[in-house]
Structure 1
Amino acid sequence: MDSNSYDQIANEYRDSKKLDFRKYIEEYTLLQLAGDISDMHLLDLACGEGIYTRKLKKQGAATILGVDLSARMIDLAEESEKQEALGCQYLVHDVLQLKPLGEYDIVVGMYLLNYAQSPEELTQFCKVVYDHLKPGGRFIGFNDNPLNESQHYANYKKYGFVKETTEQRKEGDFVKYRLFNLDGTEFSFDNFYFDPQTYADAFTNAGLKGFKWEGPLLHPEQHHPEKFDYWEDFMKHPPLIGFSAVK
């Protein structure tokens, strides 16, 4: 998706962060992967409107820079910073073209990699991450789950979204997300599918080590039987998944 497309759905995308899966799975998984980040320096790629940039800063990060292709998304992030100054910084830039800005303890990629439209772009995303990490630094994030079989794509409506793809999903095919916000608005955007091995190869080719899929993790307060029943479809066939690697 180009920057203009995201500019057009920036408000709706921001509002989708109110959906339960965002808090109880997406956010919880990210914060568990991040761990203790006190006094660390973080780079948040594809930061969108900055919701996780801000949450990570509140977790104790010394500095954090959010980068996104969409100028409107960054406008929303900077508006939030004006309303509650945390010290977050933001930059409008295409991550694929991002030159080294420094070395960071952690690079975050929340739905960054699934925008690659070729194995070469996937590797380039990983190389940009590698160039921004200190030795031993970590790359963590959340992604469309390439292990999620397409026959399950229509089963997530109760969580606020469905996925769509081609009849015979193959490498490079679109994965369309249709989201349904609490206020009744709907919007969509495309990710792109690549085989799990293609992801592993991209990390290796970029020099990143120990790549693995993580979770997704469900917040402990949702493990009560009555609540967990609601999450069964999501957790049994996860549409989304975390990941981690190190330099």
Structure 2
Amino acid sequence: MLDKLMRKKTAMSEGLLSDRIANVKRGQIPAHVAIIMDGNGRWAKQRNLPRIAGHHEGMKTVRKITRIANDLGIEVLTLYAFSTENWKRPKLEIDFLMKLPGEFLSTYLPELIEKNVKVEMIGNVEMLPEHTKKAIRKAMEATKDNDGMTLNFAMNYGSRLELVEALKKIATLVEDGLLQVDDIDDSMISSHLMTAHLPEPDLLIRTSGEVRLSNFMLWQLAYAELSFTSVLWPDFDEACMIHAMEEFQLRHRRFGSVEGEGTI
């Protein structure tokens, strides 16, 4: 009797979620969603588990959110997987984190190929361990001709470093006489960033209750809508993603214009 009741509740929940997904798909879908995946360690601590258990559980969430983002028609999903500051963590944790891309991609690459998802990466790939680089490059090569959603991993990525490198490239062009100082504008800087070929994020989601950007896409997020949730990343499921989409669709994006009441 209890099993029957649980199955009925599950069916009702799935039905409600399907209705919400259908409603969201009728509205404006953000072309690019960026997510700061935060809270794996706290999730593990709450359960008296090692931090690496939280990272492993978070990997399962990556699959769920990739699936629903693709189903919704999101063009680019960028996931902040490892920052340039994360090298300060304990070596055991770093070693585990560096194994996750290989585990995730070896397990789910066939599904990504089937779903027409293209895998990309931003960040300094050369500093990553060889096995991590090999897994990422294999996935990028296997999906390079896919023209569906782009699953973009930010690995060994830091926005300030990205901006410094972009400005160095522009300065070199000026120094070589290939560019005039007056030619430098927003679009020039954007074109030298790692995301030059991608649309700027429309929506940033950060899990775990932290309310900061943590050196993530500082230039690209200038006009993005920001969504902060106290839900820890391993617990961030399809319903949470749909809620973020629903909130996004209720907002009026002005991009600095003076239209609408209450605008400064």
State whether TM-score is above 0.5.
Answer: no
Calculate the TM-score normalised by the size of structure 2.
Answer: 0.32
Calculate the TM-score normalised by the size of structure 1.
Answer: 0.33
Greater strand proportion: 1
Larger Rg: 2
